[in-house]
Structure 1
Amino acid sequence: MRFAVIGGTGLIGSQVVRILNAAGHEALPHSQSTGVDVITGRGVEEAVARADVVVNLTNSPTFDEASPAFFRTSMDNLLAAARKGGIGHFVILSIVGADKVPELDYYRAKVLQEDVLAAGSVPYSIVRATQFMEFMDAVLSWTADGDTVRLPPTPIQPIASKDVANAVAEVAAGDPVNGIHNIGGPEVFSLDELGRITLSHKSDNRTVVTDPTAGMFAVVKGDVLTDMDAHLAPTRYTDWLETPPHD
């Protein structure tokens, strides 16, 4: 099968390309660096022209109120090209529980992306994943202040990017589900606990202070963990910490 992986040079996309090619498929990475711009539409039709499946792993450059416009425009351009090219399967990566946190601009934007895809005429699959383990350093930086890091006790089910990439590749190579496939890590932590585990492993002497109002995840009040029908990935957080580099 032939795959056009849009956003194919990023954290997940580059791994998806490797996995699909290793399985004997033809997967080509496309991004701004290869001349494909999903906002202006430049190079989009050419990128998907020979593909059987489009995997869209592009992401908004910001997590704020500008993100819905990014996903609306990029999906409109990609779906128009997919329809013109007769694409039989269109796959996107989203977030477990995104529809339960309307307070976050970025989560609302991801729900918009899902809705645009589902409303179209191209057969599709939505892979929803929990928070990437690779993002933990960024989460710690958001509320760091001197010798302390403030984090809320929000439940988190971290998943390794390699497990996300494997799931996306598997779904993309299968039949369209015309719905959502949920994946998550094998363990649940509170975010403040996960912060303490991370700092301890790095021999970082900063102290994590539990603060229900700190950072982006403070607004996550409901249950945004996977349900019983989700696929649980194998990689545990402490094992992931012990196996750098994190591809």
Structure 2
Amino acid sequence: MKIVVVGGTGLIGSKLVANLGEQGHELLAAAPSTGVNTLTGEGLAEALAGAAVVIDVSNSPVFVGDAVLEFFETSTRNLLAAEAAAGVSHHVALSVVGTERLPGSDYFRAKVAQENLIEKSSIPFSIVHATQFFEFVRSIADSATDGNEVRIAPVRFQPMAGDEVAQAVGRVSVGRPLNGRIEIAGPEQSRMDEFFRDALAALGDPRVVVADPHARYFGAELDDRSLVPGDDATLGQIRYRDWAARNAA
């Protein structure tokens, strides 16, 4: 069947295109660089013609202010309208574990707005809530850096490999629509500041990780449950130390 991956040239999208293509599906990577723009609508109708499934793994270029809400609402409205016109039978969206628990974050409020639009549309849907990706460890540390200190909240953290995010989203996309959400996460849970202390040390990064209960994450303060899934989450198998060793090699 034809599957359109919105954000198909990015980290997770490119993995989805490769994985699902190997399974024999017809894949189209939709992104501005391939002539498909969900903000303007350019190329949407042509891209979605004959598609059975649309997977949205696109992300806003900014994470704060009104622009992030505008991105997710405009993009999602345009996409859902084009899907309805094309007869798409399954809309799959990648979102974030804890989205509804962080109203102090512009980014997470925008993700909630995106999910609300999906739920209210006529398109059968599945929403996959994933924990943070291993691939973003360094960029998260950079955003939390003040001088030589990396200020991280001492809360529970359960990140996962991008490969396993793509595998989970792919499985959902070729199944029956959930008309609901599932959670996916990594196999290990640790304290966030301890995770970053170990991860940066392994990278040879000299910065000092400081446990700060008021440290912000995407603009919001965290509690101990903010970033971790419920007991029924689907867990991956790749541990961070194995992933880091493989990628270092």
Q: Distance in 1 between matches of 2:119 and 2:212?
A: 38
AA of the residue aligned to 2:247: P
AA of the residue aligned to 1:70: F
The alignment status of 1:236 with 2:239, answered yes or no, reads yes
Paired position in structure 1 for 2:71: 70
Q: Describe the SS at the equivalent of 1:72.
A: helix
Shift of 1:17: 0.4
- Report the RMSD for the aligned CA atoms in angstroms: 1.5
Paired position in structure 1 for 2:178: 177
Shift of 1:222: 5.1
AA of the residue aligned to 2:68: S
Tell me if the contact between 1:196 and 1:208 (Cα under 8 Å) persists in the aligned partners.
Answer: yes
Shift of 1:29: 0.5
Paired position in structure 2 for 1:98: 99
Tell me if the contact between 2:154 and 2:191 (Cα under 8 Å) persists in the aligned partners.
Answer: yes
TM-score for both structures, normalised by structure 1: 0.95
Paired position in structure 2 for 1:220: 222
Paired position in structure 1 for 2:118: 117
Q: Distance in 1 between matches of 2:149 and 2:98?
A: 29
Paired position in structure 1 for 2:88: 87
Tell me if the contact between 2:155 and 2:225 (Cα under 8 Å) persists in the aligned partners.
Answer: no
Shift of 1:200: 1.5
Q: Distance in 1 between matches of 2:224 and 2:110?
A: 18
Q: Distance in 2 between matches of 1:83 and 1:196?
A: 47
Q: What CA deviation, in whole Å up to 9, does each residue of 1:23-79 have, x standing for no partner?
A: 111111010001111111111111111211011111111111221111111111001
Structure 2 portions without partners, runs of 5+: none
Q: How many residues align?
A: 246
Paired position in structure 2 for 1:13: 13
Q: Describe the SS at the equivalent of 2:46.
A: helix
Q: Distance in 2 between matches of 1:40 and 1:111?
A: 22
Identity of aligned residues (%): 45
AA of the residue aligned to 1:105: D
Shift of 1:155: 1.5
AA of the residue aligned to 1:100: R
Shift of 1:243: 0.9
Shift of 1:203: 2.0
Q: What CA deviation, in whole Å up to 9, does each residue of 1:76-98 have, x standing for no partner?
A: 10011100000010100001110
Paired position in structure 1 for 2:169: 168
TM-score for both structures, normalised by structure 2: 0.95
